[in-house]
Amino acid sequence: MPLPTGVYRADQVGSLLRPKEILAAREKVADGTLTTSDLRQLEDKYISEVVRKQLQAGLRSITDGEFRRAFFHLDFLQHLDGVEVQGSLLSTNKSKGGWMPPRLVVTGKLGHSKPIQVDDFKFLEREIAAAGGEASFGKVTPKVAIPSPTMVHFRGGRDTIDLDAYPSLDDFFDDLARVYQEELQDLYDAGCRFVQLDDTNLAYLCDPKMRSEAESRHGSDGKQLARQYANLINKAIEKRPSDMTVGIHLCRGNHRSQWFAQGGYEPVAEVLFKDLNVDVYFLEYDDARSGDFSPLRHLPENKVVVLGVMTSKKGDLDDKDAMVQRLTEASKYCKRGLDQLCVSHQCGFSSTMEGNELSEDQQWEKIRLEVEIAKKVWGDDISR
């Protein structure tokens, strides 16, 4: 059975370490000494370079490295009508230096008055073509990663959703699904055929402490919340054309090489694999925090998992033989064995603009190793 469109044996979650020049330019925009137009021109320059680097490293799922974002989720969600960033989250899971992630607030009716990712996608597509694309490297797919719609609800819940705009949360979830439907259609019309939804929340429900906090915050048990989120995601993607692939990436936190949650996938496994109507799963499996591979027994025969057994959090190279062994071990739980698996790092290298604690040289060395591992397991054609 062939892989879904846009999925490759050596795949990636999407974000890459930001060049120092982009980080410096962002500071100048913040203090008013550089325009956003100047920043975008600089981003264009470095995205052109990073597209070529990905192709030369052997990747075929090509992103813009999320160079235009400070956060994997906020830079998308704040462009929805009715969504604002206000203050910071209150949480027991503080990051390094006491840093807390910004807080999303729904201040009015949700809307999608203009496309959010279309211009970025078109630029990425043009740069892939300019770099040689399929003519030089074989099958290649421009990949768009956007936050899962659950990111608007999980961390704040009822307290961060305007009561006048949404006295009923049923209406809120309906509108949230609709704006995603509209963005996916805009992307499809622009030529996009692969979209990845980045979701921390289903993975956070695997952590006993975070699950308990979520149950208190939302007034429902973890199983009910997982089903509610599966329904939301399914509705958000239900109108996608049949030739658009949608994947979901589950993450337990990835800020400056720090993680926030732990626990195997078992608490959400049946909902994740049986109820969620996505085509492919990008799953974090780089260390013991993610549990064992037994939840993969629920994976339907027609779906694929990109197994994040490698780590983007450390500069040290993963052991090639150990990674092959882990893929082989995971395949024992899959109905079609290794044919249902691909390999990647557990997350991107820079979920926020600060990036993980490794160098760019180390990042590319790790990516090249990933391609080597994929070819050792599945052969030279990593698009099979």
DSSP state of 352: B
Q: pLDDT by residue (tens digit) across 333-365?
A: 999 999 999 999 999 999 888 878 999 999 999
Does residue 108 or residue 253 have the better pLDDT? 108
Q: pLDDT by residue (tens digit) across 294-313?
A: 999 999 999 999 999 999 99
Residue 221 to residues 101, 212, 343, 376: CA-CA distances in angstroms?
Answer: 25, 8, 33, 43
pLDDT confidence tier of residue 106, bands split at 50, 70 and 90? very high
For the segment 82-96, the average pLDDT, to the nearest whole number, is 66
Instruction: Give the C-alpha separation, 375 to 381, whole Å.
Output: 7
Token pair of 248 as six digits: 């979901």
Candidates 3.40.1360.10, 3.40.50.150, 3.40.50.2300, 3.20.20.210; CATH matching 20-378: 3.20.20.210
Report which of 125, 115, 7 is spatially closest to residue 64, judged by C-alpha positions.
125
Q: Which amino acid makes up residue 96?
A: K
Site of tokens 């956070």: 204
Q: What is residue 353's predicted lDDT score, i.e. its pLDDT?
A: 86
**Residue 243 burial (10 A CB sphere; 0-12, 13-18, 19+):** exposed
pTM here is 0.95
DSSP state of 274: I
Q: What is residue 308's predicted lDDT score, i.e. its pLDDT?
A: 98
Token pair of 216 as six digits: 């208190």
pLDDT confidence tier of residue 91, bands split at 50, 70 and 90? low
Q: Residues near 269 by Cβ (< 8 Å), separated by ≥ 6?
A: 295, 298
Domain positions in the chain: 20-378
Q: pLDDT by residue (tens digit) across 257-292?
A: 776 878 999 999 999 999 999 999 999 999 998 999
Instruction: Give the C-alpha separation, 163 to 174, whole Å.
Output: 15
Q: Does residue 95 surpass a pLDDT of 60?
A: no
Across 219-233, 253-267, 328-342, 360-374, least confident range: 253-267
Rg (CA), the chain: 20
Q: What is residue 142's predicted lDDT score, i.e. its pLDDT?
A: 98
Helical residues (DSSP H) of 2-139, grouped into ranges: 20-30, 36-57, 74-77, 118-130, 133-137
Q: Does residue 87 surpass a pLDDT of 90?
A: no
Instruction: Give the C-alpha separation, 306 to 143, whole Å.
Output: 15
Instruction: Give the C-alpha separation, 181 to 184, whole Å.
Output: 5
Q: pLDDT by residue (tens digit) across 27-71?
A: 999 999 999 999 999 999 999 999 999 999 999 999 999 999 988
Q: Does residue 74 surpass a pLDDT of 90?
A: no
pLDDT confidence tier of residue 97, bands split at 50, 70 and 90? low
Q: What is residue 256's predicted lDDT score, i.e. its pLDDT?
A: 74
Q: What is residue 202's predicted lDDT score, i.e. its pLDDT?
A: 94
pLDDT confidence tier of residue 77, bands split at 50, 70 and 90? very high
Q: Does residue 219 surpass a pLDDT of 90?
A: no
Q: In percent, how much of the chain has pLDDT > 70?
A: 96
Helical residues (DSSP H) of the chain, grouped into ranges: 20-30, 36-57, 74-77, 118-130, 133-137, 169-189, 201-204, 208-218, 222-237, 269-270, 320-331, 360-378
Q: What is residue 90's predicted lDDT score, i.e. its pLDDT?
A: 54
Q: Decide if 86 contacts 105 (C-beta within 8 A).
A: yes
Q: What is residue 197's predicted lDDT score, i.e. its pLDDT?
A: 97
